[in-house]
A and B are shown apart, each in its own frame.
Chain A
Amino acid sequence: MLLIRRSARAANAVRNMSPGEELFVASVVFCMLLAAFGDAGNPTVLDALGFEFLIADLGGEMSLLAVGHWHLIEFLLGGAILAGVITALQILAAAFLRSLSPAASRGIDKVPIQP
């Protein structure tokens, strides 16, 4: 008897999302998992294993972000930024790959090679 079940689209939310919405939620979930990692990550374990350099690098980054103590608003902002970066990379990569493929032999953008 949930209120949201009155909407057929919402009742099947996992199938009715746009790719953009899906990417945003996936990014938020990724940030949540990163926070769990930051919360669970114990620098003393790395030290005991002889990976002290990682404490300075990875541990330092983690403590700089304080990712283990992120709240929902930070997850949403982080997710939005991550989703934006992924989308931008996707557009750039697509444009780059398109420029690599040759134009159609009779295409209007085909530059004629003069002998």
Chain B
Amino acid sequence: MEMELFSAAFFSALFAIILIDLVLAGDNALVIGLVARNLPKHLQRKVIFWGTFGAIAIRVVMTLMVVWILKVPGFMLAGGIALVWIAYKLLSPQSDAGAAHAAAAPAASFAGAIRTIVIADAVMGIDNVLGIGGAAHGSVLLIVLGLAISVPIVVWGSQLVIKLVDRYPSVILLGGAVLAWTGYSMIVREPLVTPWFAEHTSAKLLIAVLVFAIALAPWFTARLPAQLQALVVLLPAVMVWMLAFEVAASVWQVRVDYLLATTTGEYLLEGVRWLGWLPLAAGLLWLRERSTRRNRRLAGG
């Protein structure tokens, strides 16, 4: 998509890229430190320099590759779904923050250290480059600008980022919301499904609610009392139910439209569509309550 330079859309995409880059930034400095800690002093300085260089280079190459891959039909949809999952994982509370760093083992040689750093950065950066690729709308200039602004912040200003998110944790939630919006935009931009969305306009809205219901579920869960937390599962389930009717309408060539039913069959279909989820929801809540009671009984002895 061509974007006018220095327009609101341009700056919005740039801001989204920087925000995604910050909230999904990997802890490169710590990985480099952990990998280089057992090396001789003269090699440590070289490992820090080349490790940082390698991490930046692999990030740039991966981002450009993602922009290219997203042009392949189907990958935009897959990327959008993956971003929704990434947003969900980003917002899920972590009880053992920092424990994952133990995975970075110290290296015995210079080449081994660089290899470990580059592989660690590639693994840590997959979600990041996917988000950036989606937010950039295919513009290489935006990606280069976003990386030029955010990479120095992440590499040399990690303490600044930590201080920012520590003072304002809402930055993470905003990042999650931006990821969800980017995921939604990627799903509806997928060339394979664009004609289908043009015919089923209400499906777009259902997808939007579904995406936000899944991505922001940890937020709702943290805010709702224990007995109402089942509703967090119920909302996406209802959206999937409604979406299934839209899909069925195109597969079986039946008319499922708001208040346009004329025959008995269409009235029945409308009835099942709008009321059929109620018994399912009641069943789901009953099963959940039963399993909770059973678990409580088992825990009690």
A100 within 8 A of B: no
B-contacting residues, A1-47, CB 8 Å: 1-18, 21-22, 24-25, 28-29, 32-33, 36-37, 39-42, 45
If A13-B91, A37-B205 touch, whether A5 touches B172 (CB-CB below 8 Å) is: no
In the assembled complex, the Cα of A6 lies from the Cα of B29 at a distance in Å of: 12
User: Which A residues touch B100, using CB under 8 A?
Assistant: 1, 5
If A21-B170, A25-B170, A28-B177 touch, whether A3 touches B12 (CB-CB below 8 Å) is: no
Please give the distance in Å from B175's CB to the nearest CB on chain A.
9
Query: Which residue in B162, B177, B260 is a CB contact (below 8 Å) of A10?
Result: B162
Q: Give the size of the chain B interface in residues (CB under 8 angstroms).
A: 64
Please give the distance in Å from A44's CB to the nearest CB on chain B.
9
B216 within 8 A of A: yes
The main secondary structure of chain A at its interface with chain B is helix
If A5-B94, A11-B94 touch, whether A40 touches B202 (CB-CB below 8 Å) is: yes
User: Which B residues touch A106, using CB under 8 A?
Assistant: none
Please give the distance in Å from A70's CB to the nearest CB on chain B.
9
Residues B222 and A14 in contact, CB atoms below 8 Å apart: yes
Residues A71 and B205 in contact, CB atoms below 8 Å apart: no
User: Which B residues touch A40, using CB under 8 A?
Assistant: 201-205, 208
Residues B201 and A10 in contact, CB atoms below 8 Å apart: no
A60-74 vs B: 1/0 string, CB under 8 Å?
Answer: 000000000001111
B169 within 8 A of A: yes
If A5-B97, A11-B97 touch, whether A73 touches B91 (CB-CB below 8 Å) is: no
A49 within 8 A of B: yes
- Give the interface of A toward B (CB within 8 A): 1-18, 21-22, 24-25, 28-29, 32-33, 36-37, 39-42, 45, 48-49, 71-75
